[in-house]
Amino acid sequence: MIVDHIKNHAKYLHLPPRIVHAIQYIGSTDFTFVESGQYELDGKKLVSMVQRYKTKLPEQAVWESHRKYIDVQFVAGGHEQFGHVPLANAPKVKTPYNEERDVIFYEPGTEIIDAPMGIFMIFYPDDIHAPALAIGNPPTASEVVKVVVKVAVEGL
């Protein structure tokens, strides 16, 4: 997992070209003017999903991991938290791997990380993550604009 502010994107130019493309895309696009939806940046090898949603309360968290895609997630507007657990310390599997959807669902983990506007995260196949969590004490749902770029692992 990588978590950093998009202004530091140049530190990651050594990563595989598709991941660099994803980082450059999120760093150079004003998502205020991009409609919610899915956009192919390089066929199925690089797909952007622009999302607008309300964050979830902790008990609504969806803990997941993927095998075929790396998630490059960017908080383009708003503020959220996300959960993270290394796959090596995986909680119990709730729903086994679904190859068509490329997802495994898990029981909740415990590590929560803050992600204000401008933060990007890279979740590799060995990262279990729970995106879109509400912030505050008590947590309060808020509006977020998030971009998730799915980067195909095959051929990296």
- Structural domain boundaries in the chain: 2-152
Q: How far apart are CA 53 and CA 74, in angstroms?
A: 14
Q: Tokens for 5?
A: 């502010």
Model pLDDT for residues 8-55, shown as the tens digit of each residue: 999 999 999 999 999 999 999 999 999 999 999 999 999 999 999 999
Q: How far apart are CA 74 and CA 149, in angstroms?
A: 8
The pairing of strands 93-98 and 37-42 is unpaired
Largest alpha-carbon pair distance within the chain? Answer: 44
Q: Is the pLDDT of residue 110 over 90?
A: no
CATH topology of domain 2-152: Jelly Rolls (2.60.120)
pTM value?
0.95
